[in-house]
Chain A
Amino acid sequence: MDSIHDLGGRQGFGPIVTDEPDEPFHAAWEARLLGIVWAMSRPSGWTIDRFRFARESIAPVDYLTRAYYDQWLQTYAALLIDSGVATVAEIASGKAAGNSPDLAPPMTAAAVAAAKRTTIRYDRPIDRAPRFAVGDRVVTRRDGAPGHTRLPLYARGRQGTVEHEHGAHVLPDRNIDGEGYAEPLYTVSFAATELWPDAAGLRDRICLDLWESYLAPA
Chain B
Amino acid sequence: MKSILKLASFIGLVLTIIPPILFFKSVISLDSSHLYMTIGMFIWFGSAPFWINKKTDDQPDES
Chains A and B belong together in one complex: no
